[in-house]
Structure 1
Amino acid sequence: MQVGMLKGSIRLALKELKRWMAPEKAKTEITTFPSSAEIVSEPLGVVLIISAWNYPFLLSLDPVVGAIAAGNALILKPSEIAPASSSLLAKLVGEYMDSSSIRVVEGAVAETSALLEQKWDKIFYTGNGRVARIVMAAAAKHLTPVVLELGGKSPVVVDSGINLQVATRRIIMGKWGCNNGQACISPDYIVTTKDYAPKLVDSLRCELENFFGKKPMESKDLSRIVNSNHFARLSNMLDDDKVAGKIVHGGERDKSNLRIAPTILLDVPRDSLIMSEEIFGPLLPILTVDKIEDSFDIINSGTKPLAAYVFTNNKKLREQFVTMVSAGGVVVNDTTLHLAVSSLPFGGVQESGMGSYHGKFSFDAFSHKKAVLYRSFAGDAALRYPPYTQGKLRLMKALMSGSIIGIIRALLGFPKA
């Protein structure tokens, strides 16, 4: 999947780069007549890309495509949490790409800190909010612009009156099919009504068994947890006293093999550990409400997520969700697929990130949009030069305000209305 999506990004850039690079015509105002204007894209310079571990090739090289397409040189810092992937990236980039334009720097905290001390023309970081604050603080010292691709607690609202089997399968693929929940856009929690929750839980159980068998801990289609630290973090969520007795499916753990089964929890308290931070793992809590519209208050009471999902056949509810829920991206009747649409910007809002990329948005993320105004020596009006008479001032004010009637009155010498 990673390689396929990356190839798609490269093919799109090769196909569209000439169009992306072309100056964009811009309208001019009467105040600059006669003139023409355009917006010219130019490289920012030398950029730093710090990538994540969960999709180490896609999340490393996808922004690299945009940076190179825009004409920049760059340093790529892969995540040390996926050391084998980091080593392979360093080897392949060094072997196949121009070392005068792109270098890979491996290492952990010390190397990343050393890189952040340098002055860059842009920093692109994919990861979590804690490290993002460090990146942003370092960038502020040099007034370096940043793109932060983070995460958050992406909600799924499930309405009644839907094709429950299809909805369930799509939720499962978005949650457990994406690195066993270790993805920034995977569903983090579900909100549904008290009446509909039992049907939803039964459907989730049934489809999980269809996909991963009766012994999911032995399934080859489920990813392991990336390391012991993340395993311990997820275990702490399950061991929280506030969620005791809330597991309605799964819960099995194998520390030695870093495996956790797909786990569903029902009616977890909103002040529990599992609801206080991004889960980034195979645990899926379900919250229940009296009316489905009450889900908006739950979602909006937290920080803005990277993604938000709703399953409904109700046109009004769909429109309310799109209007009232602020998120990096919204998908109706599916999960995670907006990631694959290159014509859509991918990025967060507030604590789920800033800036966006994918397709032309990647090119724009690593470009400076330079404003260019062209004028000839003709049409040099005495109006702009002193001495400034009352007539000149009236005409200039009318020109600046764009009032056609005011311009005519000033030209005809009429007093101010």
Structure 2
Amino acid sequence: MSGKGEKSSGRKSNLEPEPQVNPYADILTCLRDAFNSGRTRPAEFRVSQLCGLSRFLKENRKLLLDALTQDLNKPASEADISEIVLCEGEVKLALNNLHTWMKDEQVEKNLATQMDSAFIRKEPYGVALIIAPWNYPLNLVLVPLVGAIAAGNCVVLKPSEISKGMEKVIAEVLPQYLDKNCFTTVVGGPQEATILLKNKFDYIFFTGSPRVGQIVMSAASKHLTPLTLELGGKNPCYVDDNCDLQNVANRVAWFRFLNAGQTCVAPDYVLCSRETQEKLLPALQRAVTQFYGQDPQNSPDLARIINDKHFHRLQGLLGNGRAAIGGQSDEQERYIAPTVLVDVKETDPVMQEEIFGPILPIFNVQSIDEAIAFIRKREKPLALYAFSNDSKVVNKVLDQTSSGSFGGNDGFMFMTMTSMPFGGVGHSGMGTYHGKFTFDTFSHRRGCLLSSPHLEMFKKIRYPPYSPRHRKLMVWLLEHKLGFPCSIL
């Protein structure tokens, strides 16, 4: 659930040319000294910091809800299920499994190494940078942080300056629960982010738009820094003619209008036949009325647009096609009504850029094959959805397309599953996280082979001068695997 870019969505704005002064050099030196001292490596330290995160969430629940209300007018129920509860679940999972995750992983050996000890060690990268967006300003800071802590890293957090309420909590309250020598927060906008990225980090985790992702990747490349990019894109939603349309409408409407549509995995447009569109529209209207009442503007369950800039961008998109449902807006409240657009053109901005608001265009196709072709000629999306009573239709869309995640007959409930990796592919991102996958993301998998300093008589066949007999024996030893652990070390 990532925030989007400046033009097409709501993430980090343009990163401006940096001044020569580097105010973060001393901070990073202190973090690197703390990491090099080995402070973050023991399991006991990691557990203590994860427990600190748990206390932060429990003791500041009202403060967090108030910040989410201030930034997005986010309903308490949405704030709970999409922000606080998911973060609590990630912390609990890490605490319950940390020792298992940290264990060396034994690997298969060949006969030539049968007396050696071979394993994979999960070691922390060092000092990691986490840059988060504004649309889920708690979730998208803390979930990566949980994995970074569990993996034993020091961390610099950069929350979004757009979600000012949550930025303040992350900067002023969260540090009270963590080791200040190992974790710090940097606040500010594009200028501060640009200066920050000038520094060398050991890992960068960025959630934002593809456009800014390219800037982050370019900055990382100067230091050959590994990174994860959680980006976005336009998520297609195919609706088959053979559907329970009210069920489809209920699910699509909720996932589209949750958080006022400011969700990177929300269905961004519907592909269906014109006949299905005419049946789907009244079902969508019933869903909107059931969820938000006759006047959604007065509903306590509908969030608002993050700021004036994004409100005006969305207001401009309302002029694409025709508003079959909604279309109203109120600048003073930054309110955009749950809106469904029809008669849109493929070249319209609403079909070209990520919407990141409560607007759902419907684009007509005549067959599933046409829908698949439409999807495949565009960048690979972060998520893709297909609705049909026929499982063969859903599986055909799954088999013949590519996306970061896929939902058949539902929306982005996969986001709630720590057992599932989440991340983009191609233009929508690289790398995955959630649950153990976040621990893995922030861990370097170090291949290790420990051999005895003795037993040289068994090693001699490797050395020159080479003979046909020794070569044949070495080939045999290398080709045959040992199916059980054996080590004299």
Quote how far apart the aligned CAs of 1:367 are. Answer: 0.5
Equivalent residue number for residue 83 of structure 1: 164
Equivalent of residue 258 in structure 1, options 320, 329, 334 = 334
In the TM superposition, 1:190-205 aligns within 5 A as 190-205=270-285
* Inter-partner Cα distance in structure 1 for 2:357 and 2:342: 17
Paired amino acid for 1:102:
F
Paired amino acid for 2:437:
F
Question: Is contact 1:93-1:103 (8 Å) kept?
Answer: no
Paired amino acid for 2:289:
E
Give the 3-state SS of the residue equivalent to 1:278 in structure 2.
Answer: coil
Paired amino acid for 1:214:
Q
Question: Is contact 1:70-1:367 (8 Å) kept?
Answer: yes
Structure of larger gyration radius: 1
Question: Is contact 1:193-1:292 (8 Å) kept?
Answer: no
* Inter-partner Cα distance in structure 1 for 2:358 and 2:394: 27
In the TM superposition, 1:12-23 aligns within 5 A as 12-23=93-104
Equivalent of residue 187 in structure 1, options 267, 275, 280 = 267
Task: Output one character per residue of 1:361-410: Cα deviation in whole Å (capped at 9) or x when no partner.
Answer: 0101111111111333336243211111233334444555569xxxxxxx
1:295 aligns with 2:371: yes
Where do 5+ consecutive residues of structure 2 fail to align?
A: 1-79, 482-489
Structure-2-length-normalised TM-score = 0.79
1:278 aligns with 2:354: yes
* Inter-partner Cα distance in structure 1 for 2:333 and 2:282: 28
Question: Is contact 1:27-1:36 (8 Å) kept?
Answer: no
* 214-223 or 46-55, which deviates more: 214-223
Quote how far apart the aligned CAs of 1:194 are. Answer: 2.2
Question: Is contact 2:110-2:477 (8 Å) kept?
Answer: no
* Inter-partner Cα distance in structure 1 for 2:301 and 2:181: 40
* Inter-partner Cα distance in structure 2 for 1:312 and 1:29: 49
Give the 3-state SS of the residue equivalent to 1:171 in structure 2.
Answer: helix
Where do 5+ consecutive residues of structure 1 fail to align?
A: 404-417
* 145-154 or 217-226, which deviates more: 217-226
Paired amino acid for 1:184:
C
Give the 3-state SS of the residue equivalent to 1:387 in structure 2.
Answer: coil
1:216 aligns with 2:296: yes
Equivalent of residue 184 in structure 2, options 99, 103, 107 = 103
Equivalent of residue 428 in structure 2, options 333, 346, 352 = 352
Equivalent residue number for residue 88 of structure 2: 7
Equivalent residue number for residue 314 of structure 2: 234
Structure-1-length-normalised TM-score = 0.92
Give the 3-state SS of the residue equivalent to 1:11 in structure 2.
Answer: helix
Give the 3-state SS of the residue equivalent to 1:220 in structure 2.
Answer: coil
Equivalent residue number for residue 400 of structure 2: 324
Question: Is contact 2:228-2:431 (8 Å) kept?
Answer: yes
Paired amino acid for 2:165:
A
Question: Is contact 2:244-2:389 (8 Å) kept?
Answer: no
Paired amino acid for 1:124:
F
Question: Is contact 2:386-2:394 (8 Å) kept?
Answer: yes
Give the superposed CA RMSD.
1.7
Give the 3-state SS of the residue equivalent to 2:346 in structure 1.
Answer: coil
* Inter-partner Cα distance in structure 2 for 1:7 and 1:360: 15
1:384 aligns with 2:462: yes
Quote how far apart the aligned CAs of 1:217 are. Answer: 2.2
Quote how far apart the aligned CAs of 1:315 are. Answer: 2.2
Paired amino acid for 2:299:
S
In the TM superposition, 1:129-168 aligns within 5 A as 129-168=210-249
1:342 aligns with 2:418: yes
* 23-32 or 195-204, which deviates more: 23-32
Paired amino acid for 2:410:
D
Quote how far apart the aligned CAs of 1:172 are. Answer: 1.1
* Inter-partner Cα distance in structure 2 for 1:395 and 1:18: 41
Paired amino acid for 1:125:
F
Give the 3-state SS of the residue equivalent to 2:121 in structure 1.
Answer: strand
Number of paired residues? 399
Identity %: 42
* Inter-partner Cα distance in structure 2 for 1:359 and 1:210: 34
Give the 3-state SS of the residue equivalent to 1:371 in structure 2.
Answer: strand
* 387-396 or 352-361, which deviates more: 387-396
Question: Is contact 2:120-2:446 (8 Å) kept?
Answer: yes
Q: Tell me which stretches of 4 or more aligned residues in structure 1 moved more than 4 Å.
A: 397-403
